[in-house]
Structure formats: structure tokens, C-alpha cells
Structure 1
Amino acid sequence: MTSTQKSPIKTRLSRSIGLSALILAVSGGVAFAQAVVVHGNRRVDAETIRSYAVGRENPQEIRESLLSTGLFSSVQVSRRGPQIVVSVQEQNSTVNRVAFEGNRRVKSEQLSSIVQSKAGGPLSQELINADVERLREAYRRAGYGLSSVSGRIAPLPNGRQDIVFTINESGKTGIKSINFSGNEVYSAGRLRGLMTSTESNFLSWIKTSDVYDPDRINSDLDLIRRFYLKNGYADFQIVNNAARFDETAGGWVIDVQVEEGPQYKVGNVAVDSALRDVDGAGLQRYVATSAGDTYNAEAVEKSLVALTTEVARRGHAFAQVRPRGDRDASGRLIGITYVVDEGPRVYVERINVRGNTRTRDFVVRRELDLGEGDAYNKVMIDRAERRLNNLGFFQKVRITNEPGSAPDRVVVNIDVEDKATGSFSIAGGYSTSDGIIGEVSLSEANFLGRGQFVRIAGTLGQRTQGVDFSFTEPYFLGYRVAAGIDLFSKFNDNYNTGRFESRVTGGQVRFTFPITEEFSITPRYSLYVTEIDIPNEYSRPYNDCTLPLPGITPGTDGALAPTAIYNCVTNGEATLAVKEAQGSTLTSLVGLNFNYNSLDSVQNPRNGFIAELKPEFAGVGGDSKFLRVAADARYYREIFDDVVGFLRVQGGHVQATSGNLRMVDHYFLGPTLVRGFAPSGIGPRDVLNDPTANAVGGTTYFGGTVEVQFPIWGLPRDLGLRGAVFADAGTLFNYDGGQGSAYTGCPTGSEARQYNVATGGGQYGQSNVGCIRDKNILRSSVGVSLLWQSPLGPIRFDYAYALTKDEGQWGTNPTTGITGKYGGDRLQAFRFSGGTRF
């Protein structure tokens, strides 16, 4: 139909305006479109033009809609009685290409996907103007909000024209401030600390978290909402949030208004089951909420999952569990009743995974506890969404559903957006135990899009070197079991602690079975070789006299007379326990880890409990024969706003299952047990030939820590600096490397016991005994710390003052006649460690 032809409907319209109104009301958009008269079109179909008028009665709206297509250079819209007359002038020129100049921070390929002007398309100045605004918005979102953008048309001889967008990029314009109002319980700083978005500061040159991203802001607001609901504020709501670009301030300003409401505690808790063969009282033990607890929305969610899983296990696949809250505003109590009843029989017809460009579909699907054909359950869907978010593979995760092909069918849509999961890092620093140290590591948390974790790293330090490789398959053989392998080789120069060098090379195979969300069991098998070498150099003469050094080893030349006073155990050499351990020791070990973790955050815990119990048995082949058990438990509690208390207890015991325990299988402890003491500075040591250096280890240790961590006033929180004060106490004792005997031959007054630690007499007067000072003395210290979550990893500075220690005891060596203090602990007030460590 041309623009000049009249349809039968138009003829009837001219006869009766009242009838026209009736037909338009009944026929809707079709009748309206047929009442639009089009003039001036040559290439664009009239019906296409009319389609832009459907649903619009305002001539200006129709005009703007048509101009936005870029097909017309001008559009005039007028009303003629019941008709709308559209006069258009089509574009005569087409776009040859779209070019960008001046852009360095954002690639041209990315900008091309943003603009609507395309090569081969129509040329439209209004479309160019709209593209300019799109590019400005893109630069604002990328954090360069003061960038200017202009567009121009560059004519070409063939009648076609280029569109050139010129961009003058500004410096980074991030989030200048995040403001909260209405909050009284938690400070604005505390709420900002929950967000992944941060304010711009002097660290902005190395961070991107201060770039305004509306999706990230929405995610941050959800974190704040969940934080309040977890801490009892069931009425909490975000009243308003707004983001505005302040050109004067040079960045974005985020304003968030909240309404906290009162804090509630849990009142009565009950399970009400409408299922005939399921008793509500019998389900009570699956509930994670208890009367008197602070109301916690996360505990309610865990209860829903536990109850739904148990009821389904009993054969009720369609059962629904929903919480009913009975709120007592005056008493600030919420009684919770978990209602269990039969839900509608709805099946999952299809599960669609969309948006994943790298992650395989099966990696997403396996996080669901239901599949296609199973009963649909909203609780399980919500649980899967939380699991997918916790993987760390996606920028965003959204699960929705839509009706299926039948009333009892539903289609589940999982929309995800992949993000980078690999990392390459180069770290360096200084450790008081390992000296100057550097590390290069390459890791991938979603290897080949299969959800596997791979890491390879190497360290090179002043007193340590090593390589490490780890691989973890989180779903072994299709089950929710994490299987992994670790390979390692690490060299340590123990000059300061035992006059020897060591290298440990081996590997480990492990399987982790999740029992609950918090509890898991990890059986493992380790096989490694420990090589002990005693240097025989002029700078470090700690040989066992089998390789005498002229001028160093007593009795080898005229420089040192071969008298009893100068024998091989009196010139500061390695202890006989070390000499006995020289060479290679193969350890074949099976172990079992019991892990419990209820921390609110692994990186920066504020509340929760984490514990580990590690029984181990060595003796499945190999040289080492021992049974070892170690335990470590930590409890975190936020005392005040952003002030965290921390308690830790740890302990362990190892004993030989055959013969004596090898020295390399003892515990060697220091600042990891009690700060203020040097590495291997606590516990038994051989005082016969070196009063302080030769630590020989112990079989039993225990210790405890009390610490309070707090923010440092005046520093931005995203700097990652916090302070702490602490008190440590602990001890290590009971050397089991040989048969103890009388004090004969040990320094008098040193309280050292003589041990037969070698199998026979040595050369050049070497004895086959050692004098081990082994005192069960409680060591303790107090101190202050500076904690820094640096870009290279967590770094910690500790300064500790020892309150109690083994002072050692004055004595005289009967062989040398030298009087001194023997066997005291070695102190180290300052300790610094950091970076990614093996």
C-alpha cells in the first residue's frame, strides 16, 4: 500500500469519527498504524516507518523515534484530523568507516561495540551525537570521567563519508566519596569496609576498585544488606542510593541512605510438618537457629537447606520448607517456625547455561543439587546460586526460571559472566628466618574452563630456595570430592640454628570429602626424602672429623695441638644428633585432616571458628617410624566496630613407633609458637659443643595466643594497614633421639643430660654422646604488630618482648674448661614476614 492510497478503514474513518474511535480502541496498534500517512520515502518501506508510530500518539515522540534510526536526515510529523502525517527525507550518504583517535586507555574494538554508527550504515548527525554521549558514559564507567569526546564527518570523493570520534582522555576519575546516612549501629567506615568498591586515595595508581561500576555497587549494597540481616537487624532496608558524577570534585559521589531498625534475637524455634510420615520434632536437630541467639538470616538459610535435603532423602522430593517469622517488636524477638509441606509437583524441564564464554557448562551444572527431570526446588536453586558466586569464576551470576512446555514444567536459566581467574605474580621481601626472598608464581583457578586449580611457583632466597607445584580437581570422578597432588622441593640453610643444610623433596596426594558446609575430612599420603648435609668449608667448619680441614680440624697440623681440650666436639661443630642424621631419610606417611571452618571471611576474618586436627603415621615403608598428632584452633570475635579479638590454642606430640625418634622428625619451633623467640629458639638443644646454636627439637609442644586487631586511626581502610597487640605462651620439650644417662661429661651445672646419639666412636677423638638440655619451661611474651594486606600478599611486622624463657645455666665444660651459660633460649624481638610463601 503506498502512502497515497486509502484503505477501506480510512474511508470509514472519514465518514464517522465516533466509529473510528471505536475501531481504534478495539484494533489497537494495527488500526493506529493504518491511520499513519507516510510521505517522502523511497528506500525505506512505509510499513517500517508506521511501526515506529505504533503506541505513540505524541508527534514529537514519533519524530525522535524515527531520527534515532539514522535512516533519515529530517523527519516532520503532524496531525491531520484522525490521521498522523509523517514526512521524511532519507539519508543520501552511507558511512564508509568509523574511526577513533586519541584513545589509549580503551581499545578501538571495545569502542566500536558501543557506538551505533556502523560502516555501511546510514549517516546521521543525530546518531553521531548520541554515540558521543555513549562514549562519554563508557569513559565515565571506565574511571576516566573527565575525558572529552567529539564526533565529526570526514567526506570522501566517492560520496561516502567517514565518521571520526576524537577522544581527549583524562586522568583516572574514580569514586571520590561513599556517603552513608541513617546508620547508627555501624559506622560509615565499617560499612565502606564491607564493600569491594573503594574511594580514591593515594593508592589509586595501583588499584581499580575505586572505578565506578554500577553492577559492583549493587553487589556491594547486597553485601551490606546481608551483613545487617546476619547480625539481627531483620527490619534493615536501603531506603535510597544514588550515584552522581561531580565534575568539580573530579569523580563519582555515592550516597546511600539506610534504615537499620532494632536488633532482634531468636524467640521460639519450631518445625511444623504437614507431611503425614515426617515428624516435625524429629527434624529439629537439622535447624541451625536456637532460642536466645542473635537473629541470623544466614543461619535461617542453612536451616532451610538442611531441612529440605533431609525431607527429600525421606522420599518427599516435592516438599517445600519455608520460614515463618513471628515478630515481637516490643520484646525484639523473632520466633521462627519452619513449615514443611507438600509443594506443587513441578519438574525441571531444561537447564540453560548462558553467557559463559570460557567456563564449561558442566562446571556450572554440577553446582546444582538437581538436574533436568528432577523435582523443582527453590531452596536448592538459591543454594546453587550462592555456590556459583563463591567459586570466584564469574563477575555475576543470576538464576531465573520460566514456564516450560506444560503447567508442571519449568525451565531454569543460569546467566553468568566469566571473569579472569589466572594470576602471575612476582613478590619479594625480607624474612627474619629466611633472609631476602623472592617468589615467582603462576596460578589458574579455572584451568581450561574446567574449574581445576593449578599453581606453580619458585622461590629464591638468601637462606632458602624451592619449587612447588599443586593441582586440584574439585569434582573427582564426578563426585563432590576434591582430589589434589602437590610436588615440592625446598632447600634450607640452617646455619643459625643447627649448623647443617637440609633439602626436602617429595609429593603428596590428597582427597577432601565435604561432610557439611563447615566440616570436611582430608585423607592424604605423603612421600618425601629429607637430605641432611653438614658443610665442610673453611668459613663453616662443622664437619665430623672424617674430612679434616688443615688449620681448622684439631690435630691435623701444628696450628692446633692434638690434645683432649681440642677435639672434634669442642670447636662449634654440628651436634652429634645432626651428624647421626646426615644423609637421606625416606618418609612414607599417611595422614588424616579433620577441618572445621565457620569463618565469615578467610582473607579477613572477624567472626567465626576454625580448627584442624591432624593425626599422621609414618612407617608404611621408608626410614621414619613415628606417630604424630597436631591440633590448631582459632576463634575470632568482633568486640567493637572493626575491633577483632582472636584466641588461638595449638599443640602436638610425636613419638617413635620403633627405636629412637630421628632428629629430623622432631618439632622445631620458635616464633610460630611464641613470638619474641628466634626460629628453633625454643626447646631442647645440645650444649656440649655449642651452647646455643644446636637445636635438636622436641616431641611435645603446646601454646596459646590472645590478640586484638584494630584499625589505625587516620589511614584509609583500603590501604590494608591494621594494628594489633598480643600475648603468647607456650613450650616445647622432651627430646627423644637417644638413651639418656648420667651427667658425666656434660658441662657442670648446665642441667644437661648425656645422650648416646651415635652408633660408634668417631675419629680424631670424636665422642658418641651429646649433652641435651631439655627443660619444660613455659615461655611467654607480649608485643605489638602491624598487619598489611599488601598487593604482594599479607605482610606482618611483630615486635615482642619475652616475659619468661629458659635462661640457661652457668656451667663449666669438663673437657674444655670453658665456663659460660649453656642451653638458653634464643630470642628475636623483631620479626617480619610477608609475601606468598610455601
Structure 2
Amino acid sequence: MTARVRVIVKLAAVLGIALSAAMATTAGSILIAGPAAAQSASNIVVEGNRRVDAATIRSYFAVKPGESLSPAKINEGLAALYATGLFSDVNISQQGGRLVVRVSENEVINRIAFEGNKKLKDDVLLAEIQSKPRGALSKAVVQADTQRIIEVYRRAGRTEVKVNPVTIDRGNGRVDLVFEITEGEKVGVKEIKFVGNKAFSDYKLKDVITTTTTNWLSFLKSTDVYDPDRVNADQELLRRWYLKNGYADFRIIAANAELVPATSGSPAGYVITFTLDEGAQYRFGKVDVVSNIRDVPAASLRSALRMSEGQVYNAELVEKSVENVTIEVSKNGYAFAQVRPRGDRDFENKRINVLFVVEEGPRVYVERIEVRGNTRTRDWVIRREFDIGEGDAYNRVMVDRAERRLRNLGYFKTVKITNEPGSAPDRIILVVDVEDQPTGEFSVSGGYSTSDGFIAEVSLGEKNFLGRGQYVKISGSFGQNAQGAEFSFTEPYFLGYRLSAGIDLYWKETSATSYTSYNTNTLGGGFRFGLPITDEITLALRYNLYQREINLDCAVWG
């Protein structure tokens, strides 16, 4: 080895040692001489701890019998102590053959308070942050909580919100954590634009999406604020709308939101622009079924198809046909069968030929169904929308059907069903991730009629009463010549079956006018039952019973 090579090797060794020392001291201080690697966990001295027991700290440096406390073990213990979130600083050094672990404990949060929040309640904000009373105070967690509060306010349309976390020392290592909030003014959606739409007007497309613009009724709704998640959901609604109406090549080029600053004539607001590429409208070409299952002839499945040749292409009808064929095959004892639609586009004639291929799928079972994210809706309200249960054969079509039903309930902002591996190769876990959304209804209306005069009505409703999926509504009307009240209650799953049942109670009183010469007083009620024939068609039965009193008005008869 030449002298030049020896120098290079020595320089590389020195550089490696320096780099290792720099990396080891980023999380804390480790000052250990060479013999420290032979120290055992019993020779560890803990200093600076007030609430955390010394034995607990030593346990992070535990080694198996016969093993030595190597620098790698010490480094792992140091990282583990920081990971607990209980310490703001940890220093490790060697003194007289002993390993000294000197810690500085984080302060304990005595209570958490919010100041300046008027639009969002304390309970809402507490549910969003990670810091908890009687927990350790971590600057990183507090900073993350601050950003989370800002994000919650921005989703409520208050983009100019400011949050300042403050700690108040209460002695004995305890502090109060206070979030000082300046909410700012609400910034709504000023305008919604569509670019590239020719088949449907802006007015029609605004009815398809859920985002709305700010108006004088904005205090009654929350859909007029810019929410990225809602805009993403609106893109899916637009996509499904166009696919439902034959535009198979439809795509959304861009969905942009621009904040327009306030001017002397108008407040600040977002302008949301959807840039669309509609493409051409297609119709169904040839539609057929091919069965690769010997005991299930294709001819027996064609009646389950929902479309016909020459009809405007509709992606929803394709999905419905897949469901219907899957159910028909399952009735023949093939629970694992899979139905796959194959589309062949005829670009010249604007036709899409659809072939449904039926074949046996892998034998996979549902181990369990996990529901996550529901803070208000009960688990069983979600589970009852599944036609399959734990232990049943897994079928993706039935899962997609349940996902569509959950979306159609209107209880959730987002719904997503994913698969996770089960305890065996032929077992899977269905994970249902949902996010609850407000389901209350409040309306005020007024008008005038020649018989009742001026009249006003106030109604209050809830589509997901107490998270049980029940519908409750109460309303009252007041007018010059009429007044009344109504109460409605609906149970969508009566006695645990997909059978809706409801009751209606009402009262109405009218006075004599120049058009009617008598007073009426009506008190009644009714029962309702709904039996779903398909997901779109329901057979409804209703029975009403009422009592009406009619009194002649002597002043009118003279």
C-alpha cells in the first residue's frame, strides 16, 4: 500500500467517525468513552426525573442476560425516550464507570382552553387536537394542533383565521394550554364557472354538484364555503353525470379555486372553475352475456341486463346489470362468481358494444367488517346496508352496492370501502371509512293565497336522528286565516328488515273567509309503509285517519 493510499484511508476513517458522532447527537447528547459499551443496565443512574419513575427510564436500556450495553443499545434507548413525548431533553454520559441518564421532563397540561372561538364550539376543537389534559406538553404536538385548528376554520370558510398557543404556568410542572383564536370573516364561494360545457348549461351543472354560492341564505348552510374535499366529490358527481348521459370520453381537465380579494363593492370570495372536455355522446351497440360456468347458461342471464341496443350509453345501467347478473348467478349456487363488463368502442359510429363475461372467482371469505370514522352514526346503521356479512363469500359487486347505498343515505361526507388481508390467505377484512356530516334541515317559507291570506311556515328536520338513521320532522304554519302543525317519523328498517314504516300526525285550523263560509278544525294521523322492489322502485302503502269539525260562521251568513 502506497503512502498516498494510507493517507486517503485515514482521512476516510476520520470522516466516518465525525459523521457518526454528528448523527448521534441530533436527538440528544451522548458522551460515552470506549469502556461504556461494557456497562450493564443495573449500573444506570437517572437524574432530573420528577414524575417518571427511574426504573421506567432504565427499562428503555434493558438488555438480555449475558449481553452488554453497547453504544447501539444506548442509542436505541435514547430514541425511545424521546419517542415517549415525556421529555424535552435527554443527556447520556459516563461518570466513574456508571452510565448517567439526565432528563428534563416535559410539563404536564393542566387544562386546555380556547379563547375567541364563536363559530366553532370548544367540543369541536377538542376533538380535532392531539394535546390532552393531564398529558405531556410537547411543542411539536402543540404546533401540529395549531395547524389543525387553522385547517378546520379554513374548511368552514374562514381563511384569515389566526391561532396563537399560549401556556400559563400553574406551578409543580403544570401548565394551562390556551389557544387564542381570531376567527376573521367568513369567505364564501363567490362564483362557480364551467368551461368547455356544450351539452349542459351552467345552471344544470350547478344542480349536479353540492358546492353552492354565497347568498342571503348562507347563514343556514355550509356548502357555500370552499372545501377541497367537497370540490373533489363534485368532480366525481360531474363525471358520473356525464357517463350517465352517454359521454364516455368525458374528463375534467382542471378544477381551480381562486381567492378574489375584497373590493369596495363586494366582499372577498372564491371563484371555482371547472374546465371540462365533454367528448362525443355514445349509444349502446351490441349487448350480450358470455358464461364460462357450465351450469349457468348465458340465455338465462340476458333478462337481467338493464340496457338495449341503440339506447344512450349509461354507465349506471352497466353497474346495475353487473349487480343483477351477479345476483342471478349466486341464486344458482355460485357465490364466488365474478361478472366483468368489457366495452368495445366504435369511434366511427359512436357505439359501445358491451359484453358481460361470467366466470368463477377465487374462494375468498369476509373475515370481519370494520367501521371507522363514524363519530355520530351507529355502526349497525352502516352494517345493515351490506347484503353480505362476516363469514359470507366475498363479492366485490355486493361491496360496491353497499358503498353506493351508504353514499345515497346522505349521512356522510365521504364513504370509502377498502380491503385488508385477513388471518388466512382466503380471508379478507372489509374496512369502511366514513366521515359524518350535518344532516339537520331547517326551512322558513312564506306566501300568500286568496283562501288563507298571508301565511308563513317553519320546519325543522333531522335525517339521521340520534345517529340511528331515523327521519324526524316537525313543522308549524301560521297565517291570517289558517294555522297548523305536523309531525313525521320514519324508521327505514322496520323490525330489522329493509321495510320502512312511519307515522304522521297533523292539526290544521281554518277560519271563514269571503271564499268559505265556515270554520274547520282538522286533527288526524296516518301510517306509512314502504317495500323496496329494487334500489330505485319502492311500493308505498298509506292509511290516514282524521276527524274534522265544521262550524258555520254566523257573521258570514248574517
TM-score range, shorter chain: 0.7 to 0.9
Contact 1:33 1:51 in 2 (8 A): no
Residue by residue over 1:673-731, the C-alpha shift from the partner in whole angstroms, topping out at 9 and shown as x without a partner, is: xxxxxxxxxxxxxxxxxxxxxxxxxxxxxxxxxxxxxxxxxxxxxxxxxxxxxxxxxxx
Contact 2:193 2:273 in 1 (8 A): yes
Residue by residue over 1:477-503, the C-alpha shift from the partner in whole angstroms, topping out at 9 and shown as x without a partner, is: 332222233333434446545534444
Matches within 5 A, 1:743-782: none
- Matched residue SS, 2:402: helix
Matches within 5 A, 1:123-138: 131-138=145-152
* Superposed displacement of residue 388, structure 1: 1.5
- Matched residue SS, 1:540: helix
CA distance, structure 2, for counterparts of residue 246 and residue 74 of structure 1 = 49
Contact 1:321 1:338 in 2 (8 A): yes
Whichever residue aligns with residue 268 of structure 1, its letter is K
* Superposed displacement of residue 247, structure 1: 5.9
Whichever residue aligns with residue 430 of structure 1, its letter is Y
Aligned to 1:149: 163
Matches within 5 A, 1:203-352: 203-243=217-257, 250-352=268-370
- Matched residue SS, 2:556: coil
The answer as to 2:127 corresponding to 1:104 is no
How high is the sequence identity, in percent, across the aligned residues? 50
Contact 2:211 2:231 in 1 (8 A): yes
* Superposed displacement of residue 335, structure 1: 0.6
Residue by residue over 1:382-413, the C-alpha shift from the partner in whole angstroms, topping out at 9 and shown as x without a partner, is: 11111122222233322222222222222222
Residue by residue over 1:552-607, the C-alpha shift from the partner in whole angstroms, topping out at 9 and shown as x without a partner, is: 6xxxxxxxxxxxxxxxxxxxxxxxxxxxxxxxxxxxxxxxxxxxxxxxxxxxxxxx
Q: Aligned pair in 2 of structure 1 residues 485, 106: CA closer, same or farther (>3 Å)?
A: closer
Larger Rg: 1
- Matched residue SS, 2:149: helix
CA distance, structure 2, for counterparts of residue 527 and residue 89 of structure 1 = 77
Matches within 5 A, 1:626-665: none
Aligned to 2:76: 47
CA distance, structure 2, for counterparts of residue 225 and residue 334 of structure 1 = 18
Whichever residue aligns with residue 328 of structure 1, its letter is D
Matches within 5 A, 1:536-555: 537=554, 539-541=555-557
* Superposed displacement of residue 270, structure 1: 0.9
Matches within 5 A, 1:616-695: none
* Superposed displacement of residue 226, structure 1: 0.7
Aligned to 1:174: 188
Whichever residue aligns with residue 230 of structure 2, its letter is R
* Superposed displacement of residue 323, structure 1: 1.0
Contact 1:347 1:374 in 2 (8 A): yes
The answer as to 2:386 corresponding to 1:397 is no
Whichever residue aligns with residue 237 of structure 2, its letter is L
* Superposed displacement of residue 324, structure 1: 0.6
Structure 2: 5+ residue stretches without partners: 1-8, 31-46, 50-56, 61-74, 92-101
CA distance, structure 2, for counterparts of residue 114 and residue 516 of structure 1 = 40
Q: Aligned pair in 2 of structure 1 residues 272, 405: CA closer, same or farther (>3 Å)?
A: same
CA distance, structure 1, for counterparts of residue 77 and residue 260 of structure 2 = 42
The answer as to 2:209 corresponding to 1:195 is yes
Query: After alignment, is 284-293 or 174-183 more displaced?
Result: 174-183
TM-score under structure 1 normalisation? 0.52
Aligned to 2:54: none
Matches within 5 A, 1:232-631: 232-243=246-257, 250-423=268-441, 427-493=445-511, 495-497=513-515, 499-535=517-553, 537=554, 539-541=555-557
Matches within 5 A, 1:22-37: 36=24
Q: Which has the larger helix fraction? A: 2
Q: Aligned pair in 2 of structure 1 residues 162, 73: CA closer, same or farther (>3 Å)?
A: farther
Matches within 5 A, 1:31-110: 36=24, 39-40=28-29, 46-47=75-76, 49-50=78-79, 71-72=87-88, 97-110=111-124
CA distance, structure 2, for counterparts of residue 239 and residue 112 of structure 1 = 39
Contact 2:451 2:515 in 1 (8 A): no
* Superposed displacement of residue 467, structure 1: 3.7
Q: Aligned pair in 2 of structure 1 residues 517, 430: CA closer, same or farther (>3 Å)?
A: same
CA distance, structure 1, for counterparts of residue 452 and residue 417 of structure 2 = 49
CA distance, structure 1, for counterparts of residue 544 and residue 445 of structure 2 = 28
Query: After alignment, is 139-148 or 254-263 more displaced?
Result: 254-263
Q: Aligned pair in 2 of structure 1 residues 415, 502: CA closer, same or farther (>3 Å)?
A: same
Matches within 5 A, 1:709-788: none
Structure 1: 5+ residue stretches without partners: 1-13, 22-31, 53-65, 76-87, 542-551, 553-838
* Superposed displacement of residue 198, structure 1: 2.1
CA distance, structure 1, for counterparts of residue 388 and residue 510 of structure 2 = 50
* Superposed displacement of residue 239, structure 1: 3.5
CA distance, structure 2, for counterparts of residue 117 and residue 371 of structure 1 = 38
Residue by residue over 1:447-496, the C-alpha shift from the partner in whole angstroms, topping out at 9 and shown as x without a partner, is: 44333333344434333333433333222333222223333343444654
Contact 2:28 2:90 in 1 (8 A): no
Q: When the two structures are aligned, how many residues end up with a matched partner?
A: 490
* Superposed displacement of residue 236, structure 1: 1.9
CA distance, structure 2, for counterparts of residue 198 and residue 345 of structure 1 = 46
- Matched residue SS, 1:471: strand
Q: Aligned pair in 2 of structure 1 residues 196, 432: CA closer, same or farther (>3 Å)?
A: farther
Whichever residue aligns with residue 411 of structure 1, its letter is I
* Superposed displacement of residue 172, structure 1: 0.8
Contact 2:306 2:317 in 1 (8 A): yes
Q: Aligned pair in 2 of structure 1 residues 440, 100: CA closer, same or farther (>3 Å)?
A: closer
Residue by residue over 1:618-655, the C-alpha shift from the partner in whole angstroms, topping out at 9 and shown as x without a partner, is: xxxxxxxxxxxxxxxxxxxxxxxxxxxxxxxxxxxxxx
CA distance, structure 1, for counterparts of residue 182 and residue 524 of structure 2 = 57
Residue by residue over 1:747-779, the C-alpha shift from the partner in whole angstroms, topping out at 9 and shown as x without a partner, is: xxxxxxxxxxxxxxxxxxxxxxxxxxxxxxxxx
Query: After alignment, is 342-351 or 220-229 more displaced?
Result: 342-351
Whichever residue aligns with residue 477 of structure 1, its letter is L
Contact 2:322 2:340 in 1 (8 A): yes
Q: Aligned pair in 2 of structure 1 residues 278, 115: CA closer, same or farther (>3 Å)?
A: closer
Q: Aligned pair in 2 of structure 1 residues 502, 132: CA closer, same or farther (>3 Å)?
A: closer
* Superposed displacement of residue 269, structure 1: 0.9
Q: Aligned pair in 2 of structure 1 residues 489, 196: CA closer, same or farther (>3 Å)?
A: same
CA distance, structure 2, for counterparts of residue 174 and residue 369 of structure 1 = 41
* Superposed displacement of residue 326, structure 1: 0.4
* Superposed displacement of residue 510, structure 1: 3.3
Q: Aligned pair in 2 of structure 1 residues 94, 487: CA closer, same or farther (>3 Å)?
A: closer
* Superposed displacement of residue 230, structure 1: 0.9
- Matched residue SS, 1:211: coil
* Superposed displacement of residue 177, structure 1: 4.2
Taking only aligned residues, the RMSD between alpha carbons, in angstroms, comes to 3.9
Q: Aligned pair in 2 of structure 1 residues 159, 403: CA closer, same or farther (>3 Å)?
A: closer
Contact 1:231 1:294 in 2 (8 A): yes
Residue by residue over 1:773-829, the C-alpha shift from the partner in whole angstroms, topping out at 9 and shown as x without a partner, is: xxxxxxxxxxxxxxxxxxxxxxxxxxxxxxxxxxxxxxxxxxxxxxxxxxxxxxxxx
Whichever residue aligns with residue 494 of structure 2, its letter is F
- Matched residue SS, 1:137: helix
Aligned to 1:770: none
* Superposed displacement of residue 67, structure 1: 11
